Structure 1
Amino acid sequence: MTKRPTATKARSCTGKIRHETRAKALAHLRRLIKRGYVRLSAYECKHCGGHHVGHRPKPRTRR
């Protein structure tokens, strides 16, 4: 039986580019921002040990 990734791993790691260093992830982040992408951040992945670029959470609004 194939092991499915957890929801957390699927969101934070699976399908994203793995950068070996934070510096490389930040360089990629800057290129994406120049192309118009917004609300991005670089982070260290607890699943693979590499670094990824992903969207920051939307700010919570009070109801």
Structure 2
Amino acid sequence: MKIVIDQDRCIASGQCVSAVGEVFDQRDEDGVVVLLDPTPPADLAAAVRQAAAVCPARAIRVEE
């Protein structure tokens, strides 16, 4: 699993951070998503997919 984010699309809703704080964070100055782990462990795969699914801006893409 590889995660790709599009910071230009991010609207800083924080849904990804709420879903998987181990993988996603937000910049202090504007709340835009920051990817902490582009290749997270398998035990976080379901949560990462959920984070991508709930992102209102579709700024997160999961590549298998």
Structure showing greater Rg: 1
Structure number with the higher strand fraction is 2
Q: TM-score, with normalisation over the residues of structure 2?
A: 0.29
Provide the TM-score with structure 1 as the length reference: 0.29
Which one has more relative contact order, counting CA pairs under 8 Å at least 6 apart? 2
